[in-house]
């Protein structure tokens, strides 16, 4: 149903700060202009349909981040792929955010497998294509 790949956390040391959530990995991300977040991870998960990817994104993006000054998550759906970008002030916060998100994604995927109708090709609505939690 879903396949995943993740990039290892990497520290970047740049004086500039990018407030754009579509970070290319070269510049630290920030949330609400507070702290630099040099530790990043990008996870991509392929689903059977864009509809399933959007369902999982909506399920994962409901909860606010517990430490918004320390961790930033950005969700994006492109086709059948859900991409989650993480940025954190410390590698421990990054590990915790990635781990808990993966646990919740497992629950969402198992729920899809049990209850979702068969995948049908559907284009995601433009206003649901990206969600950010901070």
Q: State if pTM tops 0.85.
A: no
Q: Look at the chain and count its residues.
A: 134
Residue 117 burial (10 A CB sphere; 0-12, 13-18, 19+):
exposed
E-only strand ranges, the chain: 3-6, 10-11, 39-46, 71-78, 81-88, 130-133
The span from the CA of 42 to the CA of 98, in Å, is 9
| Beta carbons of 44 and 76 less than 8 angstroms apart | no
Q: What is the pLDDT of residue 134?
A: 55
Q: What is the pLDDT of residue 66?
A: 84
- Which residues lie below 8 Å from residue 15, measured CB to CB, with a gap of 6+? none
What angle (nearest 5°) sits at the alpha carbon of residue 86, between those of residues 81 and 87? Answer: 155
The pair of three-digit structure tokens given for residue 4, joined into one six-digit string: 């995943």
Banded pLDDT at 130 (limits 50, 70, 90) = low
Examine the pLDDT at 123 and tell me if it is beyond 90: no
The mean per-residue pLDDT over the stretch 118-128 comes to 54
């Amino acid at each position: 149903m879903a396949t995943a790949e993740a990039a290892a956390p990497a520290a970047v040391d740049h004086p500039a700060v990018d407030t754009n959530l579509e970070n290319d990995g070269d510049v630290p991300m920030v949330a609400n202009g507070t702290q630099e977040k040099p530790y990043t991870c990008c996870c991509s998960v392929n689903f059977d349909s864009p509809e399933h990817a959007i369902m999982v994104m909506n399920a994962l993006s409901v909860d606010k981040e517990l430490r918004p000054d320390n961790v930033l998550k950005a969700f994006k759906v492109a086709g059948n792929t859900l991409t989650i970008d993480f940025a954190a002030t410390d590698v421990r916060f990054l590990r915790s955010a990635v781990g808990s998100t993966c646990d919740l994604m497992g629950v969402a995927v198992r729920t899809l497998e049990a209850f979702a109708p068969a995948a049908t090709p559907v284009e995601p609505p433009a206003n649901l294509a990206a969600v950010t939690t901070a």
